[in-house]
Amino acid sequence: MPAPVKVAKPLVFLLCLGPLAALLWAIFFNQESLGADPPGLITDRTGDWTLRFVLISLTMTPLRLITGWNWVIRFRRMLGLFAFFYGLLHFISYIWFTVNFDIHTTIEDITKRPFITVGFIAFVLMIPLAVTSTKKWIGRLGGKRWNTLHKAIYITSILGVIHFWWRVKSDITKPLIYAVLLGILLAIRLWNLFKIRRKATVYDRAQPAHRS
Ligand code: HEM
């Protein structure tokens, strides 16, 4: 691992813990800042950070494609795991504050409230990605299968935006911003895929002798 990445990793790790630290600080030392509905705010903040980390981790590949900075990919795993971590906190805060550990209400919410259904699917899809994020799992599954599995993050990101969109009642500005950002990130990937496919076709056409 290049030395600057080695130094930056613990710093990025600490930075990623920032939102949690800010929330804990507010809970223990500055409760007025949590407003009239602290439990609701905790669920919202953890939900916000889940979606932000999903989008930040999805930014690494486009950033590498545009800038040529290959080292940014080394942060992708950590950022993805933080997305899962905040997703877990979000789910726990929902179980704790919204349904008060009532399994029947949870099941009813998941099956009957579309905004909870999509949030739940988005979260469940993150579990195998977090579990298989290690090098050992890449070896076990093989690169191709691992890559296919990890494409589930695109579904999580889309469902995460839909979840947010369906949750807001009137002002859709915030989910719209996330939707546009996600659209840009996915468009860059599609454009790159198209470029690779076209290059491969041009190469295949230029090599007819090898194919017979
Ligand atoms: C187990 C799955 C999930 C459940 C049960 C769940 C539940 C909830 C609930 C109840 C709220 C509203 C809180 C309130 O009204 O005060 C909420 C908000 C939100 N959730 Fe989730 N969620 C889940 C998964 C996710 C995932 C995977 C993401 C992101 C990828 C996400 C992102 C958000 C966002 C952005 C908000 C709105 C925050 C805001 O208004 O600022 N949620 N969620």
The residue whose CA has the least distance to atom 43 of ligand 1 is 47
Rounded CA separation 187/177 (Å): 15
Please write the tens of the pLDDT for every residue from 47-106.
999 999 999 999 999 999 999 999 999 999 999 999 999 999 999 999 999 999 999 999
Name the residue of 94, 99, 155, 170 whose CB sits within 8 Å of the most ligand 1 atoms, as the mutation to test its pocket.
Answer: 94
Q: Is the CB of 80 under 6 A from ligand 1?
A: no
Rounded CA separation 149/57 (Å): 16
**Residue 187 scores a pLDDT above 90:** yes
**Quick one: CA dihedral 71, 75, 76, 77, positive or negative?**
positive
Rounded CA separation 86/46 (Å): 6
Q: Is the CB of 51 under 6 A from ligand 1?
A: yes
Task: Report whether 175 contacts 52 (CB < 8 A).
Answer: no
Q: Is the CB of 175 under 6 A from ligand 1?
A: no
Q: Is the CB of 185 under 6 A from ligand 1?
A: no
Report the chain's C-alpha Rg in angstroms.
Answer: 20
CA of 164 to the centre of ligand 1 (A): 7
pTM for this structure? 0.93
- Residue 209: the pLDDT is 58
CA of 152 to the centre of ligand 1 (A): 18
Give the count of beta carbons closer than 10 Å to the beta carbon of residue 65: 14
Please write the tens of the pLDDT for every residue from 5-64.
888 999 999 999 999 999 999 999 998 999 999 999 999 999 999 999 999 999 999 999
**pLDDT, averaged across the chain:** 94
